[in-house]
Amino acid sequence: MDQVKTDPRIIRTRKLIMDTFIDLSGKKEFKDITVKDITTEAMINRATFYYHFEDIYDLLDKVLSEVLLVNLKSEVYEKEEINEQSLTSIFKAITNFQMSLSNRCHRGYEDTIARIIRDQLEVLLYKMLLKQHQVKEDESLKVAAVMLSWGIYGASVEWRRNSQDATPEEYIKSAIPYILKGIE
């Protein structure tokens, strides 16, 4: 089974479908993109699409998650502790991600985007907290990661709505000492 997941042909096809979807989302609203549009553009059949994704919403979920993970550079942060630099970089990545989506995704999908951002942040922050506190698992750290992920997401939404005269770094910088005080 692991060989199937790492088969280069499967990886290439999955990437082709995702890239095609991203290209189409630059030309059309998500609500107007169909599986037929994707399969025609990618020159694959419907069965191939459904081998990789349950439906168009599953594809949206996977694409947004992967793009967010790339923006977050999660593999780098997982090895770091939560500090001023990492929080600032994470906040900046989240605001950049949201800004890049603002022209591509219909307002009706904000809940999906919000859930993906919070879920990915929660996993990342939990790993960072575990490393920082040198424990294997801890329920209180899971709760802290949930609170931090929702807080960072909420602050990014607030920045986008009201404070774009300040850079994301300037916006978050004043709150970081209070956040870190609680983490330490």
Distance CA 180, CA 184 (A): 6
Please determine, for residue 140, whether its predicted confidence score (pLDDT) is greater than 60.
yes
Domain ranges of the chain: 2-53, 60-183
pTM of the model: 0.76
Number of alpha carbons in the 13 Å side-chain half-sphere of residue 67: 20
Reported confidence tier of residue 111, pLDDT bands at 50, 70, 90: confident
Residue-wise pLDDT for 25-35, tens only, equals 878 878 889 99
> 2-53, superfamily in CATH?
Homeodomain-like (1.10.10.60)
Contact between 98 and 158 under an 8 Å Cβ cutoff? The reply is no
Average pLDDT in the 75-81 region?
75
Domains 2-53 and 60-183 share a fold: no
Fold of the domain spanning 60-183: Tetracycline Repressor; domain 2 (1.10.357)
pLDDT of residue 184: 59
Which position has the higher pLDDT, 109 or 1? 109
Q: What integer best gives the mean pLDDT of the chain?
A: 85
| Distance in angstroms (rounded) separating the CA atoms of residues 65 and 57 | 12
